[in-house]
Amino acid sequence: MGLRERKKQETRAALSWAAIRLIVERGYDRVLVEDIANEAGVSPRTFNNYFGGKAEAVASRHLDRMQRMADTLRERPAGEPLWEAITHAMIEQYRPGPEVTAHPRPDPDAWTAGLRLMFEVPAIQAATLRAAAQAAEAVAAAVGARTGTDPAGDMYPNLVAAAALAAEDVVRRVFMTTHQGIDVLITDALQQISAGLPPPSH
């Protein structure tokens, strides 16, 4: 990846994280595009070059994470079992980037409460659904490349992508409730899926 493309990705990540952080802290209606741009150290015009609005900026974090996961999945060792490769690829995307580590860690309870309110905003729900559809296409293509299947005509890569993304969604919700380690939750969720979701023994 060239320097220009890396800078664009860094700016996009900084804007998305600024949108999430400010909306969690203040509420959706109390945050302006100008606030987000200022927080990320860019102009509102730059924000508009990347996103069509606040909701899209929030949802892009999920989309970018899953697109990176698809790229990472393609790079995993060819002989690695599929669900192990998906697990490693997904966990890797939850390593906090500089846009996150540059800020103090928020209070977990206040952060969780703000996240829940944020995801109740209809505009963010709609943008997240659109992002999830795009993410599913990217993951299905990566699964198809690993398994020799074609997402355009085979159900398998699409089913795997849908299952993986559903697991990621459940993991995020459980994480917000329990604050368990994200690596542990991802591993557990994908192991259950790869085992065929057998009923609990207890």
For the domain that residue 60 is a member of, what is the CATH number? 1.10.357.10
Q: What is the CA radius of gyration of the chain?
A: 18
- The parent domain of residue 73 ranges over 55-194
Number of independent structural domains in the chain? 1
pLDDT tens, 123-162?
Answer: 999 999 999 999 999 999 999 999 999 999 999 999 999 9
Closest CA to 33 of 56, 61, 11, 7: 56
Domain-located, residue 161: yes
| Segment 65-78 mean pLDDT | 95
CA distance 36 to 62: 18
Domain-located, residue 70: yes
CA distance 78 to 73: 10
Domain-located, residue 105: yes
22 phi and psi angles, rounded to 5 deg: -70, -40
> Does the pLDDT at position 107 exceed 70?
yes
Domain-located, residue 25: no
Q: Is the pTM of this model over 0.85?
A: yes
Cβ count within 10 A of residue 60: 23
Domain-located, residue 149: yes
Domain-located, residue 133: yes
- Predicted local confidence at residue 2, as pLDDT: 79
pLDDT tens, 10-52?
Answer: 999 999 999 999 999 999 999 999 999 999 999 999 999 999 9
Domain-located, residue 44: no
Domain-located, residue 76: yes
